């Protein structure tokens, strides 16, 4: 059952080939066998999952079936779940049981999906390798000496290892697409404002966006149908009708213009990754697409602008963790200052502290204009580059990451080397555009991702192209040997 897609599992449940309880027990069993090695989950919600499965089975018996009724899924541990531990990968929230449930999680509940548990992640979603998690690194199922990517590494590794057929992730600078690429699965970051951020613990509020991770584009479409909604509780949620993302998957892509940014195929891109991506682009040509070279001349500004804006917003968002209201509190503080300093010093990891320092510095009176304001101007330029290109082409394609998965510890001492992991993904967050990574090759056993970027609210177009690509290729079906 674990090799079936969500669409196939839904069919199986409809035809009563198996029950949701059987399905849920099967995945829980895989989790208990494989998770001790992969470490993709922080919390396994066995009891509530079985209860939800029984409820789903009753609904199915009563004919109240939905596309996700009885389907087991996982949520990134950044989404608040009432009554269930929500850590955000941090010691700071290692005792936090939220009194409310995130809108995204609620949407899944309403459709009758079964939550198996919460996935491991980089602390407060800061990282590209999952090495910053307080709960230990997630291992890449393709090669357990290598990182799964981050920050949604737990979700991507869990889907790759078939611990669940689908999972949620969040993407601030690449955190859905980069781990999807490194783990050989499909992951979509929707347009900013498409998926509610209510109850999703904030990292950088103007960049954060939740999205689906699954094996296929079709499954991502099914998950996005559930995740996308207008939410009055999120002031940046866009009140626009949600299309049926499954309905357009089979449209022809003949005549579609696909732009290839010159800047995404330049030095810094691993030659074998480039070969795999070019091979995938030829597949798109076989399907009738036309490739057009484009320019995104301000691409080089995206990583520097991001590493001012994201830390600035993070420093403000993380000020709420003060040891007073909830979360970790240090022992025996002598006064208020000692409480703040020790609580935050003890419970935030090194990378989180680094970002808070950078962000506070960039926002301070003397440096605001020089750093923060300048970064916002660069953000405008990046946005304009995309707008100009997307007038000429329907979609933009390129690599998701400059290289395949790397070994644990290999970038540990060099934050900038780690930051460059997201060189091709960050710009879409700065512009608010949707982007997706789908598997398009293997290099010495390590997966490679093809990135597709669309115009605002054109997730359907991205998913359509991804689905057509998966109709004529098999990369999304290859299973990592260690977990077969």
112: left (phi over 0), alpha (psi -120 to 50) or beta: left
- State the catalytic residue, choosing from 5, 90, 151, 403: 151
- Backbone φ and ψ for 258, nearest 5 degrees, come out as -110, 120
- Residue 289 phi, psi dihedral angles, 5° rounding: -80, 160
Catalytic residue among 5, 19, 20, 76, which? 76
User: Among residues 127 and 441, whose Cβ is nearest to ligand GLN?
Assistant: 127
Nearer Cβ to ligand GLN, position 19 or 172?
Answer: 172
* Identity of the residue, 173 or 259, whose beta carbon is nearer to ligand GLN in the bound complex: 173
Residue 92 and residue 343: Cα distance in Å, rounded? 8
Q: How far is the CB of 144 from ligand GLN (least distance, A)?
A: 21
Q: Among residues 128 and 140, whose Cβ is nearest to ligand GLN? A: 128
171 or 231, CB closer to ligand GLN? 171
| Residue showing the smallest CB distance to ligand GLN in the complex | 175
Least distance between ligand GLN and beta carbon 203 (Å):
6
Catalytic (active site) residue 175: yes
Q: What CA dihedral angle connects 103, 105, 106 and 108, to 10 degrees?
A: 130
**Cα gap 115→52, rounded to integer Å:** 8
Least distance CB 111 / ligand GLN (angstroms): 26
Q: Minimum Å distance from CB 187 to ligand GLN?
A: 11
Nearer to ligand GLN, 202 or 223 (CB): 202
Whole-number minimum distance, CB 128 to ligand GLN, in Å?
Answer: 4
C-alpha angle 224/18/475, rounded to 5°? 50
**Active site annotation includes 151:** yes
Rounded Cα–Cα distance for residues 208 and 332 (Å): 36
- Which residue, 317, 467, 465, 302, is CA-closest to 395? 465
Please identify which of the residues 129, 175, 237, 315 carries the catalytic annotation. 175
Least Cβ distance, residue 212 to ligand GLN (angstroms): 15
Alpha-carbon distance 357 to 312, whole Å?
A: 9
CB 77 within 8 A of CB 88: yes
Going from the C-alpha of 145 to that of each of 134, 156, 177, 242, 266, the distances in angstroms are 19, 16, 21, 41, 28
Q: Is 237 a catalytic residue?
A: no
Exposed / middle / buried, residue 280 (Cβ in 10 Å: 0-12, 13-18, 19+): buried
For ligand GLN, the closer CB: 201 or 310: 310
Q: Kindly list the residues in this chain that would bind ligand GLN in the complex (CB under 6 A).
A: 125-128, 151, 171-175, 203, 310, 422
Min CB(124)–ligand GLN separation in Å: 8
Residue closer to ligand GLN, measured from CB, 273 or 310: 310
The residue among 105 and 121 lying less far from ligand GLN, judged by its C-beta, is 121
The bridge status of strand 290-294 relative to strand 257-261 is: parallel
Q: How many angstroms separate the Cα of 402 from the Cα of each of 161, 265, 266, 409, 418?
A: 23, 9, 10, 18, 11
Min dist CB 224 to ligand GLN, Å, is 18
Smallest gap from Cβ 121 to ligand GLN, in A, equals 8
Catalytic sites, residue numbers: 76, 151, 175
């Amino acid at each position: 059952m674990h090799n079936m897609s969500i669409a196939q599992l839904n069919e199986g449940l409809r035809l009563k080939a198996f029950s949701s309880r059987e399905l849920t027990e099967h995945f829980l069993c895989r989790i208990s066998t494989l998770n001790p090695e992969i470490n993709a989950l922080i919390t396994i919600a066995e009891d509530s999952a079985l209860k939800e499965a029984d409820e789903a089975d009753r609904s199915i018996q009563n004919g109240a079936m939905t596309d996700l009724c009885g389907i087991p899924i996982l949520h990134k541990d950044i989404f608040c779940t009432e009554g269930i531990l929500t850590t955000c990968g941090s010691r700071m929230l290692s005792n936090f049981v939220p009194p409310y449930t995130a809108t995204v999680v609620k949407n899944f509940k309403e459709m009758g999906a079964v939550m198996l548990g919460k996935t491991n992640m980089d602390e407060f979603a800061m990282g590209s390798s999952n090495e910053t998690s307080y709960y230990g690194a997630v291992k890449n199922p393709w090669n357990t000496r290598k990182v799964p990517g981050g920050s949604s590494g737990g979700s991507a590794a869990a889907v790759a290892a078939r611990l669940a057929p689908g999972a949620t992730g969040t993407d601030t600078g690449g955190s859905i697409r980069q781990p999807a690429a490194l783990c050989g699965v499909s992951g979509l970051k929707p347009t900013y404002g498409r998926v509610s951020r209510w109850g999703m613990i904030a990292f950088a509020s103007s960049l954060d966006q939740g999205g689906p991770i699954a094996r296929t584009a079709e499954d991502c479409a099914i998950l996005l149908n559930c995740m996308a909604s207008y939410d009055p509780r999120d002031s940046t949620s866009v009140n626009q009708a949600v299309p049926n993302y499954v309905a357009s998957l089979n449209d022809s892509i003949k005549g579609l213009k696909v732009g290839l940014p010159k800047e995404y195929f330049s030095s810094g891109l691993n030659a074998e990754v480039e070969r795999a991506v070019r091979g995938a682009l030829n597949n798109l040509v076989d399907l009738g697409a036309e490739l057009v070279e484009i320019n995104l001349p301000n691409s080089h500004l995206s990583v520097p602008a991001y590493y001012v804006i994201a830390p600035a917003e993070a420093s403000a968002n993380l000020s709420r963790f003060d040891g007073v209201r909830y979360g970790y509190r240090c022992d025996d503080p002598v006064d208020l200052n000692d409480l703040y300093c020790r609580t935050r010093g003890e419970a935030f990891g090194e990378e989180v502290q680094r970002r808070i320092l950078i962000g506070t510095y960039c926002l301070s009176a003397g440096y605001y204009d020089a750093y923060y304001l300048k970064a916002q101007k660069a953000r405008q330029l990046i946005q304009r580059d995309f707008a100009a290109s997307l007038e000429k082409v329907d979609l933009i394609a390129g690599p998701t990451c400059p290289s395949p998965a790397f070994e644990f510890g290999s970038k540990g001492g060099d934050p900038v080397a780690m930051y460059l992991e997201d060189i091709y993904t960050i710009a879409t967050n700065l512009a608010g555009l949707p982007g997706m990574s789908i598997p398009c090759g293997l290099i010495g056993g390590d997966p490679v991702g093809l990135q597709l970027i669309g115009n605002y609210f054109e997730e359907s177009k991205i998913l359509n192209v991804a689905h057509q690509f998966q109709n004529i290729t098999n990369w999304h079906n290859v299973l990592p040997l260690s977990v077969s």
